[in-house]
Amino acid sequence: MQSSAEQQLKREIGFIVALSLVVGTVIGSGVFVAPGAVITEAGGSTMALLAWLLAGLLTMAGGLTIAEVSTQIYKTGGLYVYLEEVYGKTVGYLSGWMQTVIYSPAVIGALGLYLGSLVAGLFKWPQHWSAWIGIGTVVFLAVVNSFGTRLGGILQAVLTAAKLIPIALIIVFGIWQGDAPVWGVPSGAPAGSGMGAAILACLFAYDGWILIGTVAGEMKNPAKLLPKAIFVGLTLVTAVYLLVNLALFHVLSPNQVAALGANAGGTAAQMLLGNFGGKLVGVGIIVSIFAALNGLILGFSRVPFAMAERGQLPFSKFFVRVHPVSRAPVAAIALQVVIAIGLMFVSHPDKLAQISVFAIFIFYILAFFAVFLLRRRNGSADRPYSVPLYPWVPSIAIVGSGFVVVSTLINQPSDSFMAIGIMLVGLPVLWWLERKK
């Protein structure tokens, strides 16, 4: 059942918009940037492709698991609401706090700065303009989404379709015209950390799919749409990642992919389609980031809205406001954008995003384990959707996220402990708010 504030939001999201939110927020710049890092860590083409496949299967296991949770708790707020409903107010609050003050605005800020730099480079503008281009883009998308979920959703669907055009050209022409061997070719790069690190690099490229749950309260039929959008969306993303890497290996040697890094996609497109191809991929990356930013602003803003609706943010009465005409949570959108712009001036919000990834995956584990708790709590009650191959699929999702947490703790201990510190800072805020009540 929706809360009184949540009932003010319009149920306007259908399958196409829901699907575009999954695909559009997952496929950002990673499809072009990550292949070089993955092949370096994996050590060869076959192992790199296997890493992309395994990461896709682990992500799919997580998506199918969350689909069962979300169809029983289809409220606005996503991960924050799931954890609150299953584990109680404090755990849910810590998840929402981390997403609101660091994770969401840092990811938005990092993508905004990256987009600004690419736009400045494409038009040969001075690089000191890049931050202002990024800020202007973030503000523009915030305004668009303030006009309502329908407009933001339509823009997301159009941008997702547009971003897939250059990707499709690389796949088609790469597989068709390329003649380089694909299987069993060593990278030739210095020895990486192995298969585990390669899968980890892939998993970060798959992250973002859970954002679809934040807008469940605005879906026309969440019990039906959520599982369908997650399954179809992640299947499409996995296929795109595998086909892009196959195309790259058909055109460039694994050694070249490793050496070129983020430029591998543009170089391959230029070889296949000339200068036009290189510029097309450059525009494609910009459109891809633009679409991801739109989806993030649309989805992430629902977390502080849900927290404010429960009185778990300072000035909650302000941040729970919904525009009387567009029915969009304009104050919550403004909060996320203002924090994001502040982090953009700090200069390295991407570092903050890396710090928060550790904590986010801890909450992922709790969300996946919630399936077992909900089944025990609800017994044999009918469910709108049940995760297939239970309990193996949820267990795989837990193991995959545990791998990310342990790997980050080992390889980036200072960042991991900083994430825990930022998360715990939220507890005094919660106690203060509870005392005011």
| DSSP symbols for 69-97 | HHHHS--TTTHHHHHHHHH-HHHHHHHHH
Residue type, 393: V
**Among 303, 97, 330, which residue's Cα sits nearest to residue 217?**
303
Residue of higher predicted confidence among 218 and 389: 389
Inside any domain, residue 7? no
**Among 321, 351, 347, which residue's Cα sits nearest to residue 335?**
321
Enter the DSSP assignment of 102. Answer: I
Write the Ramachandran bin of 279: left for phi over 0, alpha for psi from -120 to 50, otherwise beta. Answer: alpha
Q: Mean pLDDT across the stretch 77-106? A: 89
Q: What is the dihedral of CA 72, 328, 340, 19, to 10 degrees?
A: 50
How many other CB atoms are found less than 10 A from the CB of residue 134?
Answer: 28
Contacts of residue 108, Cβ cutoff 8 Å, sequence gap at least 6: 138, 293, 296, 297, 300, 336, 337, 340
Evaluate if residue 155 carries a pLDDT over 90: no
Using CA atoms, how far apart are residues 180 and 254, in angstroms rounded to an integer? 10
pLDDT in tens, 349-401: 556 666 777 778 889 999 999 999 999 988 777 788 888 899 999 999 999 89
CA 269, 40, 363, 109 torsion: positive or negative? Answer: negative
**Among 345, 435, 363, 355, which residue's Cα sits nearest to residue 402?**
363
Name residue, tokens 């909060």.
335
CATH number at residue 276: 1.20.1740.10
Residue of higher predicted confidence among 74 and 109: 109
Inside any domain, residue 286? yes
pLDDT at 178: 74
Least confident of 232-236, 271-275, 390-394: 271-275
Using CA atoms, how far apart are residues 160 and 163, in angstroms rounded to an integer? 5
Least confident of 63-72, 342-351, 384-393: 342-351
Evaluate if residue 176 carries a pLDDT over 60: yes
Residue type, 275: N
- Total number of domains in the chain: 1
pLDDT in tens, 9-25: 566 677 887 888 788 77
Kindly report the average pLDDT of the chain as a whole number: 82
Inside any domain, residue 9? no
Contacts of residue 150, Cβ cutoff 8 Å, sequence gap at least 6: 10, 12
Inside any domain, residue 2? no
pLDDT at 398: 95
Inside any domain, residue 311? yes
Write the Ramachandran bin of 9: left for phi over 0, alpha for psi from -120 to 50, otherwise beta. Answer: beta
Residue type, 121: G
Residue 214: which pLDDT band, with cuts at 50, 70 and 90? low
pLDDT at 1: 44
**Six-digit token pair at 247?**
């195309």
Evaluate if residue 339 carries a pLDDT over 80: yes
**Among 21, 15, 97, 77, which residue's Cα sits nearest to residue 359?**
97
How many other CB atoms are found less than 10 A from the CB of residue 262?
Answer: 14
Q: Please state the pTM of the whole predicted model.
A: 0.83
3-state secondary structure (DSSP) of residue 253: coil
Q: Which residues pair with 414 in a beta bridge?
A: none
Q: Which residues pair with 13 in a beta bridge?
A: 219
Max Cα–Cα distance, the chain, nearest Å: 68
Residue 2: which pLDDT band, with cuts at 50, 70 and 90? very low
pLDDT at 256: 82
pLDDT at 228: 86
DSSP string for 309-369: HTT-STTHHHHT---TTT---HHHHHHHHHHHHHHHHHS-HHHHHHHHHHHHHHHHHHHHH
Using CA atoms, how far apart are residues 288 and 34, in angstroms rounded to an integer? 14
**Among 27, 20, 79, 21, which residue's Cα sits nearest to residue 401?**
79
Name residue, tokens 């109680």.
88
**Six-digit token pair at 122?**
């494409």
Q: What is the dihedral of CA 139, 203, 79, 140, to 10 degrees?
A: 10
Which stretches within 264-315 are classed as H helix? 264-273, 275-300, 302-309
**Among 179, 216, 164, which residue's Cα sits nearest to residue 17?**
216
Helix, strand, coil share (%) of the chain residues, nearest 5: 80, 0, 20
Inside any domain, residue 4? no
3-state secondary structure (DSSP) of residue 252: coil
Residue of higher predicted confidence among 399 and 160: 399
Least confident of 79-88, 126-135, 176-185, 339-348: 176-185
pLDDT at 192: 59
Q: Mean pLDDT across the stretch 100-120? A: 84
Q: In whole angstroms, how far apart are CA 41 and each of 195, 254, 351?
A: 7, 12, 21
Inside any domain, residue 8? no
3-state secondary structure (DSSP) of residue 186: strand
pLDDT in tens, 418-433: 888 888 899 999 899 8
Residue 131 structural domain: 15-432
Inside any domain, residue 1? no
